[in-house]
Amino acid sequence: MLRVTTRQLRQMGACETDVALVEKHWPEGVPITIPSIQKAFRLGIGVEWFAREVLSVEGWAEYERQRAPLRAEYVRQQAPLWAEYERQRAPLWAEYKRQQAPLRAEYERQQAPLWAEYERQQAPLWAEYKRQQAPLWAEYKRQQAPLLAPRLRAALS
């Protein structure tokens, strides 16, 4: 049975989150089976990323061809569920915002003088940083200019 190991996933450039999940659930490597793919989807592993990495152009096109009606059916069935969720959530959110508004106002009232003091103390630090950074930036730009010139000429031609 064909298996994909964490070493292979890393070589392909898989994200470390996916690699860690594979390592946790399939320490000997993921067997390429329907149940494993379904489990990987449930775990949130980037199965589509993997498919794009290993399938040929034709294989990916076939995958997309078969996936399209399944996705459309999912969207069709999910839409009323989402609408009902939003219908029930809206008054809860409105009540939360109503109760939160005075708390937010008090926070902002107390925070305003603190922020002003922070900005007062931070301004000279920023000015000094910019003063010291300016010659470094100028030297970087001076040295970078000849490197960009050929690319710029190529882009404009």
Residue 82 lies in a domain: yes
Full-model pTM: 0.46
Tell me the per-residue pLDDT of 113-150, one tens digit each, with 9 for 90 and over.
999 999 999 999 999 999 999 999 999 999 988 887 77
Tell whether 9 and 82 lie within a shared domain: no
**Number of domains comprising the chain:** 2
49 inside domain: yes
Measured between alpha carbons, how far is 99 from 104 in angstroms, rounded to an integer? 9
Both 79 and 101 in a single domain?
Answer: yes
Q: Are 59 and 31 in contact (CB under 8 A)?
A: no
Range of the domain at 25: 3-54
Is 61 part of a structural domain of the chain? no
147 with 105, same domain: the answer is yes
- Identify whether 59 is part of a domain: no
Show the CA angle centred on residue 106, arms to residues 103 and 107, nearest 5°.
85
For 36-74, the pLDDT digits (tens) are 989 998 999 988 888 888 878 888 888 889 989 999 999
Q: Do 99 and 145 have their domain in common?
A: yes
